[in-house]
Chains A and B, each alone.
Chain A
Amino acid sequence: MTELQAGQEARPLEVPRIDARPQRYRDVLIALAAFAALALLPMIFGSKSLLDFVIRCSAYGLFATSLNLLVGYTGLISFGHGMFFGLGAYGFGLMMQKTGVPIPVAFVATLVITMVVAGVIGAICVRLKEIYFAFVTLAFQMLIHSTILSWQSLTGGDQGLRGGIPRPPFLGIDLSNHLHLYIMSCALLVIGLLLMRQIAQSPFGYTLRMIRDNATRASFIGIDVWRAKLTIFVLAALFASAGGMIMALFVSGAYPEFAYWTISGEGIFINMLGGVTTFLGPMVGTVLLLILNDTVTRLTEYHGIVLGIVILFFAIGLRKGLMDFVVEWIAQRREKAGG
């Protein structure tokens, strides 16, 4: 092909104009529709176990999706994200047991505590590269776990926070009512997802993707990489903490397992299972893992082996998550259809 021919075929470059507003309206509409569907669910299927399942999905879903903000969007592989899940559960539970403040106050106060703790831990961790970051976050997770175990007078040690979490009604919402708790969890999930979606699609979200792809370049064009990483670390911690609070409300207590490293491992696995390239991948992963866990636990006591083999299948066999797979498949079909 000569230069002339090439020139004839060349078209002016189309610069896509991105207007964030239509997308935002679309996201809000989807969120409202999802919430409506979840809220109507109890009227159609009244089974308690299904509602329990959705509540657990909300708790883990918030946790896993917030982890994806770190892993998928920023390239920060945190292996200690579960500490904020545990922190949320314990912070909220203790606040309700010891002070007796209204639930919304305890909720906000726990978020503030999480913010401070995540700020301190994050300031130390985000300076480190990949594998160091992964293991130092893991080390902090174990520190929090061992603190919970050894501070028996406050946390109840390995017995966990027992005696139930008081749930005084507020604004006409009574969380000791199972249906109210269900609606509340769904609302928190949908609001949390919507907020995280806004973060991911904002200019800040695109800064994070840039840091993931090339941190050196990002810092050369004047982005304060450390600050951006710390910001998303703290933000992600807040959502994980909210997930932990749902869990604490659901089981009416808090247990050291909530802060154990396996929670973080499961979070990473959920992300892998669902895929990190789509926003809702972790949510899909959450549902899959919970179903998998429930089935396997029912069938065998050795559920580590089964889970491990499934992980190996995804990590070595597929090399990507389920949603990544679906997205690629759709893209391929479109390509074929297009010519």
Chain B
Amino acid sequence: MDLDALAGCLASPACLVTQTTSGLIIGMLLFLVAVGLTLIFGVLKVVNFSHGAFYMFGAYFAMTAYQLTGSFALAMLCGAAGTALLGLIFERAFMSRVYGADVLMQLLVCYAFVLIFDDVVRMIWGPEFKSMGMPSAFQVPPLFIAGGVVPPYYLLLIGVALVAAVILGLGLARSRIGKVIRAAAHNPGMVSALGINTGLIYGGVFALGGMLAGLAGALAAPVRSLTPGMGFSVLIESFIVTVIGGMGSILGALIGALLIGLIRSFGSLGFPLFTEGLMYLFMVIVLVSRPTGLFGKEVA
């Protein structure tokens, strides 16, 4: 424990800015993964245990696209579009077969794919750590805000995630498709009776969730190292986020992700060995006081 370091940081604006930005990028990446998880759970009532794999694929797709074309924008696009397609195929071909079956089956199908996807990545890209490298457009001197160092790429990352959050929130609340999705979450039988193809909606939601995770992976690729199995720790953390925020709530995922991000970045100063433990501790406190999460609705 190093409480002096934590107190010292809280007193200095420079350190405060640096730690908050690093907390925000952890939080925003987690949000993109967690919001897909929570969306899929809200509509399809399954927990996509293999969601971390989409994050991983997003990162690898982006790296390959970047190496081939040298275009950062294209790399992001490839990461997102590739995982969206993967999500659609995965849902239609496999997950749709275990809806209504018990949770054990759903977990097992996903567990199988965690194993398969990790090995597929190992086959294609090799088992060693890979790095995409920072695109040249962002290899510029960092910004100084109140004395704290902020790389410009971080701002882009936070911006993209925020835009995604706003589009997603508004789209679900206001647009026609958003209404259909919410209706399908509420009563799929009725939606289907009204002549709407629920299979298409399910596939679409899964693709959307996969795309968001893939986008997160692609955004993370320049700043983190790529390895098979990288998705799993993200999965656990984003699950903690959804548990804290409440399953099925987008706002909850955002708040939960930011809280976890800040806990991680400031916790690493005060409790360097127990940073992960802090996260779990926080989750336990939330669960004990509010078993359905901060923004979760009571479900029967």
Q: Using a CB–CB distance below 8 Å, which chain A residues touch chain B?
A: 71, 77, 79, 124, 127-132, 134-136, 138-140, 142-143, 146-147, 150-151, 261, 265, 268-269, 272, 276, 302-305, 307-309, 311-312, 314-316, 319
B239 near A319: Cβ-Cβ < 8 Å: no
Contacts of B108 in A (CB 8 A): 268-269, 272, 311, 314-315
Question: Does B201 make an interface contact (CB < 8 A)?
Answer: no
Contact partner of B104 (CB less than 8 A), chosen from A77, A138, A261, A302, is A77
Taking CB atoms and an 8 Å cut-off, the chain B residues in 86-130 that contact chain A are 94, 97-98, 101, 103-105, 107-109, 111-116, 118-120, 122-123
A136 near B243: Cβ-Cβ < 8 Å: yes
Sort A-B residue pairs by CB-CB distance and give the 7 closest, nearest first.
Answer: A308-B116, A304-B115, A311-B112, A304-B119, A308-B112, A308-B115, A315-B108
- Assuming the contacts A124-B284, A135-B47, A311-B112, asked whether A316 and B97 have C-beta atoms less than 8 A apart, the reply is yes
| Complex-state Cα separation, A259 to B247, whole angstroms | 27
12 pairs of residues in contact across A and B, judged by CB atoms under 8 Å: A77-B104, A124-B284, A132-B291, A136-B283, A139-B239, A139-B240, A143-B280, A150-B276, A151-B273, A272-B104, A304-B118, A311-B108
B98 near A315: Cβ-Cβ < 8 Å: yes
B119 near A302: Cβ-Cβ < 8 Å: yes
Contacts of B112 in A (CB 8 A): 307-309, 311-312, 315
A132 near B243: Cβ-Cβ < 8 Å: yes
| Complex-state Cα separation, A282 to B138, whole angstroms | 54
A305 near B280: Cβ-Cβ < 8 Å: no
Known: A139-B280, A139-B283, A311-B115. 19 other contacts (CB 8 A): A124-B284, A124-B287, A131-B41, A134-B103, A139-B243, A142-B280, A151-B273, A269-B108, A269-B111, A272-B104, A305-B120, A307-B112, A308-B112, A308-B116, A308-B119, A309-B112, A312-B94, A312-B109, A319-B101
Contacts of A319 in B (CB 8 A): 101, 105
Q: How far is the CB of A117 from chain B (nearest CB, A)?
A: 14
Q: Is the interface of B mostly helix, strand, loop or mixed?
A: helix
B interface size (C-beta, 8 A): 40
A-B pairs under 8 A by CB, number: 107
| Complex-state Cα separation, A314 to B239, whole angstroms | 26
A265 near B98: Cβ-Cβ < 8 Å: no
Contacts of A136 in B (CB 8 A): 243, 283, 287
Question: Does B144 make an interface contact (CB < 8 A)?
Answer: no
Question: Does B170 make an interface contact (CB < 8 A)?
Answer: no
| Complex-state Cα separation, A31 to B194, whole angstroms | 59
Question: Does B288 make an interface contact (CB < 8 A)?
Answer: yes
B273 near A130: Cβ-Cβ < 8 Å: no
| Complex-state Cα separation, A142 to B284, whole angstroms | 14
Q: How far is the CB of B163 from chain A (nearest CB, A)?
A: 29
Contacts of B47 in A (CB 8 A): 131, 134-135
A135 near B101: Cβ-Cβ < 8 Å: no
